[in-house]
Structure 1
Amino acid sequence: MAVSDEWAPRIMAGPDGSAEGICSMVLRQVAEDLGLDVAFGFMPKPRRQAAFRRGEINVVPCASPMWEGVLADVAVYSEPFMMATEMVVVPAGTKGVFRSVRDFAGMRVGTIGGYVYHDGFDEAFEAGMLRREDAYAVTQNLQKLRVGRIDAMIVDDYEAAYWMHKAGWSESDFRVAYVFADPAPITVMLHASLRDFLPQVNASLARMRANGTLRALFAEYGPQKLAAHLTR
């Protein structure tokens, strides 16, 4: 059973409830190469992690070791098949230069429940330097940012671009204020009980990289990355 929280355009529920997006297509190809069937489901990250620990879920199609520390003793990871770059997005008219978390002091920052944030942001939330405003969908945070209910939001570059274009919003209404230092490798996370499948999973991913399948998936589920990321 493969379960994820929704993370467009990497993985998302289609009109009929089935999984769409880059990661779901990657996992379907891996499963086909291994001669296995795969069923997809969705749940928020805290519930998904608890179910994974209990062994009720044995595959997460889009995961990073950087974000799944609480599962370190029960999870193994494939080789990365893409990267995720997190950034802080603010309204276009926001003034100031943002070189570190300290430059966001006092702001209300939109986040996703259960997510871990590096570059000192989690510590700043804990210390009260910033106010963490959890939501369970990036679209909620984008709406709140547009109407001034939060001052900034942390979001992945692919996901920000996808939802802005999907909603018909202009990228010029937003500004990339800060880009996190270390992009996160995106992998297939397997329950440790499936460890023996890792070589086959990695071989399948290597074939997709070599034959252009991965490149085609990235193009199909564009826009790729927030264009403003290049003008920060």
Structure 2
Amino acid sequence: MATLTWPPYTKRSLPKGGAVTAVVRAAFDAVGRDVRVRYRPWNRAIALAKAESTGVVAYYPGYHCNHRPDAGFLRSYVIGMRPLGLAKRANAAFSWTSLADLEGFRIGTVVGYANTRTFDRKVAAEELWTIESHSDRRNLHKLIEGRLDYAVIDKHVMTYLLNTDPELRPHRDEVVMDDTLLGRMPLFVCFRNSPRGKALRSAFNDGLTQVPYKDIMAGRIARLSAKGAE
């Protein structure tokens, strides 16, 4: 299987490979299957799963499996939910309840990341002012420096970065997540649409029903994102 580096969800150096990888391993372990995981940049991970010659049959975590529509990837059962929201400076005197409230604010996004459909539609219609960066980490720096008003980010990713990144930790009390979330988005494993892919998806889904995957995910995220965690 292939995945990206996206802590606390996935990262080679984390215990069990991260919270999502821990769920993937537990589900396959429940049905007696071993898992080998390759960590690659996101687009490369998808390409590995698409090509039958690589031996990779799936990629994760996707909140849909249409990253390569021509490949027809098959999604698994839901393996978790990601809380997507807007980070802002702790002393900010503004908040939002509807997307219209965000008009005129500088909003940081990450190149290549999809957000909620309604948010992305407003961006495409040029109703929201977005500024792209190449990483969540960079957006948090820009937020702290006052170069952004908001940054679109997963709540758990934000907490992990603020508590573990050496350059961000001194500023972790300067950033908060706005109370209003953009949404809670499901995460899936995306299997190649082939006989082997279908068989492994069936085995994975069976295993997922046998393990407390929500508890595994929540426990791993809590431990990995704790203040002072390495």
Both structures adopt the same fold (TM-score exceeding 0.5): yes
The Cα of 1:180 is off from its aligned counterpart by 1.6
1:108 aligns to 2:112 (yes or no):
no
Letter aligned with residue 58 of structure 2:
V
The Cα of 1:105 is off from its aligned counterpart by 1.3
Q: Name the counterpart of 1:228.
A: none
8 Å CA contact retained: 2:156, 2:221: no
* Partner-residue secondary structure (3-state), 1:186: strand
Q: Name the counterpart of 1:125.
A: 123
* Partner-residue secondary structure (3-state), 2:116: coil
Q: Equivalents in 1 of 2:3, 2:151: separation in Å?
A: 21
Q: Equivalents in 1 of 2:43, 2:38: separation in Å?
A: 17
Q: Structure 2: which 5+ residue stretches go unaligned?
A: none
Q: Equivalents in 2 of 1:158, 1:214: separation in Å?
A: 11
Residues 30-109 of structure 1 aligned to structure 2 (within 5 Å): 30-32=27-29, 33-43=31-41, 45-55=42-52, 57-65=56-64, 68-72=65-69, 74-109=72-107
Letter aligned with residue 203 of structure 2:
Q
Q: Name the counterpart of 1:227.
A: none
1:3 aligns to 2:2 (yes or no):
yes
Calculate percent identity across the aligned residue pairs.
Answer: 17
8 Å CA contact retained: 1:119, 1:180: no
The Cα of 1:50 is off from its aligned counterpart by 4.7
* Partner-residue secondary structure (3-state), 2:190: strand
TM-score (structure 2 length as normaliser)? 0.79
Q: Deviations over 1:176-196 (max 9, x none)?
A: 233124x11222221112012
Letter aligned with residue 22 of structure 1:
A
The Cα of 1:89 is off from its aligned counterpart by 1.0
Match of 2:208 among 195, 205, 219: 205
Q: Name the counterpart of 2:181.
A: 179
Higher mean C-alpha deviation, range 159-168 or range 25-34: 25-34
Higher mean C-alpha deviation, range 23-32 or range 47-56: 47-56
Letter aligned with residue 181 of structure 2:
V
Letter aligned with residue 87 of structure 2:
V
TM-score (structure 1 length as normaliser)? 0.79
Instruction: Figure out how many residues of one structure are paired with residues of the other and give that number.
Output: 217
* Partner-residue secondary structure (3-state), 1:110: strand
Q: Structure 1: which 5+ residue stretches go unaligned?
A: 225-232
Q: Name the counterpart of 1:195.
A: 198
